[in-house]
Structure 1
Amino acid sequence: MTTTLQSSAGRDKQARDAELLGQLRAAIGAAHVLTDPNDLADRLIEDRGLYKGNALAILRPADTAQVAECVRLCFAAGVPIVPQGGNTGLVGGGVPEGGVILITQRLNKIREVDAVNATMTVEAGCILASIQAAAEEVGALFPLSLASEGSCQIGGNLSTNAGGTAVLRYGNTRDLVLGVEVVLPDGRILNDLNGLRKNNTGYDLRNLFIGAEGTLGIITAAVIKLFPQPVSRATTMVACDGPDVALLLFERMRSQNADVLSTFEYIDRSALQMAIDHGPGCSDPMMQAYPAYCLIELTSTGAQDALDARMEAALEAAFEAGEVIDAVIGASEAQKDALWALRENLSDAQKPEGASIKHDVSVPVSRVADFVNAGKAACIDYMPGLRPCPFGHFGDGNLHFNLSRPKDMADADFLAEYPAFNRIVHDIVHEMGGSFSAEHGIGKVKRAELRHYKDPVALQLMTQIKQAIDPAGLMNPGKVL
């Protein structure tokens, strides 16, 4: 009897799924409702391959109205929806747990460029690099910059509140957005697309959805800020004895060049060595190895000579103070790009070295050196032979504290230690008043950490917001909360 009942339930579900797929094909076209396993395969796995999900279909709506209709149909059928952009996330936020995957790649129009208002209205499927290029065409800058900018989409950047290498000067993604358009879990469309710098008309709904990882709705468009396009840049990589003097160097650069300081990235030698060994076209920028490095860039709308002079003056003072051991200054655009390539290849360069455990953390800038020192010591004490590879956005307190396995250890054995290393690293971060997730989000990977460290009242409010906006729990289930 039980088997018969289960079979009947299974047939009923198949019938309901078939009915929904038929409705979705009628709504957006059969060619854009994909069910072939070969079409689904790449969208079921997150970038690092740690998670694999399952889904009924992939939906490829062409515009906001089609997104809304897809969501309305799924809501009526009680079928979950997982929004996906470029699928470049690092915390499993786009891995489906059943239901359908809604991808935004066809929502790729730049709707408006308002040069005087210094804004651009873009759809969620626009590739970040394409937005940067469109801004450049009108003599402007969209400063969000990530290693994955050639494939990540702005909708995903918004849903995770992406950081990147320019946060020091321009802020996180949230700071670069004025308005959003969102399809809510029941199919209604929230139109909050405005280009206003001042808009004090009640609750800030925009920021509910930025950083929500698609759990409250699907961002379909946004009004983003543009900035003056720099015409000159001074780029240098300096060598130093470690994070303590790097912090002193950052304080110097900020005090002397705050108006033009765009980048201050810290790189441990172990991380740089992997980029040298495995990064395409990468080579050691200096004649010998040093404990640590800082990639520094100044950008300006003024003359190149003036910017070079400011960089050289700051470096000269840093040499005299013992903060810098050696330095390489990019004399040409090609040399500057080569220095940047070392930074941009750091994450991918870890892959040939075997399994890695990654931490995306932030602490107050005043504690970044303390964290690097304490984190490395604690992790090596737990596992001798471990290869810590800390690097990241020193100037805003965000470090990617990545751990590569000991050379003689199996990948699976090392990855089994993920919970232990999370507790070691995140406890240190928490004690220093920091965050266990600085720019990558929560996704699936960090849900337990959120429950462990988040203020209980804040967690309760987050849960109430989720229940109020998505009471059926259909929007990207299993993520964040």
Structure 2
Amino acid sequence: MEQCQKIIGISNVLTSDFDKKPFLLDWSKRYSGKAIAVLKPKTTEEIAALVKLCCQQNIAITPQGGNTGLCGGATPRSHGDSVVICTTRLNTIREIDLDNSTITVDSGAVLSTVQETALKAGMLFPLSLAAEGSCTIGGNLGTNAGGIQVLRYGNMRDLTLGIEVVTANGEILHGLRGLRKDNTGYSLKDLYIGSEGTLGIITAATLKLYPLPKSKATALVAIKNIESAIKLIDLARKRCNADLTAFELISTRALDLISNQEKNWSSILNAKSGWAILLELSSMENSEYSRSQLETFLTEAFKLEFIDDAIIANSIQQSRDLWHARENIPEAQLKLGTIIKHDISIPISKIADFVKDTEIKLKARWPETQTIVFGHVGDGNLHYNLAPIATDDSLSSMESKRRAINELVHNQVYLYSGSFSAEHGIGQAKREELPFRKNIVEIDLMRAIKKALDPKNLMNPDKIL
């Protein structure tokens, strides 16, 4: 560790059990590991020097950002033969190019900081998710994060023009290009985005910025039935076109976990179908235009009997309250006890059938459980979670069901042509299952890429593959 101290300073090499502890446990507290040390570099050059040193000494590396992942991808393995390289000190906003509509940032920059920096410049960086106050751009890139505005702006891969990477042998890939068109061979950035630190360490990125919308209109609606969600989004796309920014499907069971009754949302919570949609339009026109557009769309939806009720936000605060409810479901559901989570993707046309069919099969086997479903139905991504009905159901009771429940849900996902990992990644949680969910050609190609770029298997070993 003496050589590491020379590179980044004594205070940035953590070796005591007490100092290392926060970096060795994942956010969900399901995965923990061991590490020789936690290293906290400040620059790309320092990371490159550390990686070269680890490569020479055959020491494995676990890259870590805000440590908000849900699949154990940023947690070191239990061997105790690795170091954690934490990027949170690597947090500089390098450049804003307004003429090119780009922002270049270090990978340790917190997502909310990037959003706020763009906002001060009169621009929008649209990635938005519940952990935005603590997750980092590097983690967002590593998992190809999505969030609530994917419908309009795409996920992290769509939002990224160029990246800087420290490779597995400590070289620096200088790829911070702000080009929309760069057809010069293989797209190396797309290999690293979504790779969860298994191929190298992303140290910076050039990201797209967008004009800041002049107005937004938000509504929470009770839909007639689950099939109406698909009809409603189709209508919204036809009537609102690119102004449709977000379209979230939420079971009223999930929404009821938030203390919303005082917000006068009881009519939505009591929807007979058990389902609601939270949608938002954003426009370069004035607020009167956006509200009129939303009201016209909802009026038609009422006439077509897609919805039973609707609440339109009358102020910025009311809009925030609606989104606060959606964003706080992941935390609120924890009061139900042990949650078995699924981050899945289903073709939009098959969501209704998947939800109904899977609910029946789950209830037949485990009547003592309940589903808590919410997600970005605009891109087919559902957070399909199970919780005990009785809050006194023991931890061991739910844990004993985890493997069987996962198998049933994931089998259903693939029966309906979906994916068992939409935006949280593979990490440790889904590593063993991945070979059964992707065909042998895909797995062999992934292994070949891993071996070519990380021949010593030192970059985040035992993750993904």
- Please state which band the TM-score falls in when normalised by the shorter chain: over 0.9
Instruction: Name the SS for the 1:440 alignment partner.
Output: coil
Aligned residue in 2 for 1:344:
327
Work out whether residues 80 and 475 of structure 1, in 8 Å CA contact, stay in contact via their aligned partners in 2: yes
Q: Which of 43, 48, 66 does residue 46 from structure 2 map onto?
A: 66
- 2: distance between equivalents of 1:119 and 1:332? 31
Instruction: Give matches, 1:40-439, under 5 Å.
Output: 40-97=20-77, 98=80, 99-276=82-259, 283=263, 285-287=265-267, 289-290=270-271, 291-407=274-390, 408-439=392-423
Amino acid at match of 2:377: F
Work out whether residues 65 and 87 of structure 2, in 8 Å CA contact, stay in contact via their aligned partners in 1: yes
| CA deviations over 1:191-238 (Å, ceiling 9, x no partner) | 111000000001000000000000000000000000110110000000
- 2: distance between equivalents of 1:433 and 1:381? 23
| CA deviations over 1:234-253 (Å, ceiling 9, x no partner) | 00000123321121111111
What is the Cα deviation at residue 416 of structure 1? 2.1
- 2: distance between equivalents of 1:156 and 1:104? 10
Aligned residue in 2 for 1:9:
none
Amino acid at match of 2:66: G
- 2: distance between equivalents of 1:282 and 1:440? 33
Amino acid at match of 1:289: N
What is the Cα deviation at residue 276 of structure 1? 2.8
For residues 282 and 444 of structure 1, do their structure 2 counterparts lie closer, same or farther at Cα, with a shift above 3 Å needed? Answer: farther
| CA deviations over 1:172-191 (Å, ceiling 9, x no partner) | 10000000000011111111
For residues 144 and 72 of structure 1, do their structure 2 counterparts lie closer, same or farther at Cα, with a shift above 3 Å needed? Answer: same
Q: Which of 456, 459, 463 does residue 472 from structure 1 map onto?
A: 456
- 1: distance between equivalents of 2:364 and 2:225? 19
What is the Cα deviation at residue 409 of structure 1? 2.4
Amino acid at match of 1:104: T
Larger mean Cα displacement after TM superposition, 464-473 or 447-456: 447-456
Amino acid at match of 1:225: K
- 1: distance between equivalents of 2:430 and 2:145? 16
| CA deviations over 1:151-176 (Å, ceiling 9, x no partner) | 00000000000010000000010000
- 2: distance between equivalents of 1:248 and 1:385? 32
TM-score, reference length from structure 1: 0.94
Coordinate RMSD, CA, aligned? 1.2
Amino acid at match of 2:404: A
Q: Indicate the percent of aligned positions where both proteins have the same amino acid.
A: 45
| CA deviations over 1:257-311 (Å, ceiling 9, x no partner) | 121000000000111111238xxx9856234512111000000111111111110
Work out whether residues 337 and 393 of structure 2, in 8 Å CA contact, stay in contact via their aligned partners in 1: no
Q: Which of 447, 455, 466 does residue 431 from structure 2 map onto?
A: 447
Instruction: Name the SS for the 1:258 alignment partner.
Output: helix
What is the Cα deviation at residue 453 of structure 1? 0.8
Amino acid at match of 1:439: E
Work out whether residues 101 and 208 of structure 2, in 8 Å CA contact, stay in contact via their aligned partners in 1: yes
- 1: distance between equivalents of 2:144 and 2:262? 30
TM-score, reference length from structure 2: 0.97
- 1: distance between equivalents of 2:454 and 2:382? 33
Larger mean Cα displacement after TM superposition, 159-168 or 360-369: 360-369
For residues 381 and 283 of structure 1, do their structure 2 counterparts lie closer, same or farther at Cα, with a shift above 3 Å needed? Answer: farther
- 1: distance between equivalents of 2:266 and 2:92? 44
Structure 2 segments unaligned to the other structure (5+ residues)? none
Instruction: Name the SS for the 2:433 alignment partner.
Output: helix
- 2: distance between equivalents of 1:224 and 1:448? 33
Structure 1 segments unaligned to the other structure (5+ residues)? 1-20
